[in-house]
Amino acid sequence: KIGYLSKETIQLIRNCNRKELEQLTKQFVMINNQEDILEILDMH
């Protein structure tokens, strides 16, 4: 569904704190690509 993720985005996800991971989980159905992930994480 998400497609390609850069090494930087993967590392960013790995370094997320619990709150950030919960936010990604809550919005998972709305994530369609790498840019969506970056937008969600930039909210914090």
Per-residue pLDDT at 1 exceeds 90: no
Tokens of 37: 């992930």
The parent domain of residue 28 ranges over 7-42
Q: Would the pLDDT of 19 be above 70?
A: yes
For residue 43, the model assigns a pLDDT of 65
Burial label for 6, CB within 10 Å (0-12, 13-18, 19+), is: exposed
Average pLDDT across the chain, whole number: 91
Q: Looking at the domain assignment, is residue 29 inside a domain?
A: yes
The structure tokens 């590392």 sit at 11
Residue 25 located in a structural domain: yes
Q: Is residue 2 part of a domain?
A: no
The number of folded domains in the chain is 1
Q: Is 38 part of a structural domain of the chain?
A: yes
